[in-house]
Amino acid sequence: MITVIIPCFNSSKYVDLSINSILNQSHIHKISEIILIDDDSKDFNELSEIVGKFKKKFKNISLYKNSSNKGPGFSRNLGIKKSITKYIAFLDSDDYWHHDKIKFQIDIFNKYPNINMLCSLNESSVIQDRKLIKLNLISMLFKNQITTSSVILEKNNFFFKETYYCEDYFLWINMLINKFNIYRLNIKLVNNNNNKSIYTRLTSKKTLMHSHLQKIFFSLYLKIPLFFIFIIFAQLFALIKFLLKSYK
């Protein structure tokens, strides 16, 4: 029913926590396969050994290796293309799931079959009211409200942008433009294990992230011209946030 995709880069020291959080799900029977995509790591042999050990517990776990370092977007897309299930879940190699994450989300999919994608809160969230909120394009232009490791979506023909920055935001925006029903369950179902992978460290490169974000905004002028004014304000808002963070 669900394929879990884990992009990895030099993550052999801590990916076992991520995988164990999948295998310890109360609804593990809903998970059909786990796909790990190694992004040309130095520790690929160690990662391969770890996956081999987990294969004794869960036979449908696979490991693939990129021919060169291509980034998390490319790796997740490769996992999507290799998946065989209706639903796709994402988990970064430095994150782990709440014991009942799959249960909570599958129950909602069953109750509301019109939902195309469902995410949740992460450990940094303050308010946890368990409400089910429909996300909209305008609010998402001003803030990425989706934690990638919390996402389960119906497999579709949309993919991550194959860059190192804002690759997930690009996908969520395009899905919203194309009228996908995206909801967030306001409960914390994802945690970080405090180990910093290459993909986590990428988020610290604020200038490059801001540059890629602005490129996404510029691409939207042609895609959604009716939202012209909202895109302008979103760009200005992003620039102000970037400048404030830069001078801290």
Instruction: List the chain pLDDT tens, one digit each, 248 residues.
Output: 999 999 999 999 999 999 999 999 999 999 999 999 999 999 999 999 999 999 999 999 999 999 999 999 999 999 999 999 999 999 999 999 999 999 999 999 999 999 999 999 988 787 888 899 999 999 999 999 999 999 999 999 999 999 888 999 999 999 999 999 999 999 999 998 766 554 545 455 888 999 999 999 999 999 999 999 999 999 999 999 999 888 76
Report the amino acid identity of residue 236.
Answer: L
Q: Is residue 37 within 8 Å of residue 6, measured between CB atoms?
A: yes
Which tokens hold the place of 128?
A: 């946890």
Q: 212 and 185, same structural domain? A: no
CATH value at residue 59: 3.90.550.10
Q: How many domains does the chain fold into?
A: 2
Which tokens hold the place of 120?
A: 């949740």
DSSP state of 225: G
Domain span at residue 245 reads 205-248
Going through 30-154 in order, the beta strands assigned E by DSSP cover 31-38, 61-65, 87-90, 95-97, 117-122, 132-134, 152-154
Cα separations in angstroms, 76 against 59, 61, 137, 232, 237: 21, 15, 23, 30, 29
Whole-angstrom Cα distance, residue 37 to residue 76? 7
Q: 225 and 178, same structural domain? A: no
Whole-angstrom Cα distance, residue 121 to residue 163? 24
Task: Kindly state whether residue 200 falls inside one of the protein's structural domains.
Answer: no
How far from the centroid of its chain's Cα atoms is residue 150's Cα? Answer: 7
pTM confidence score: 0.93
Q: 151 and 33, same structural domain? A: yes
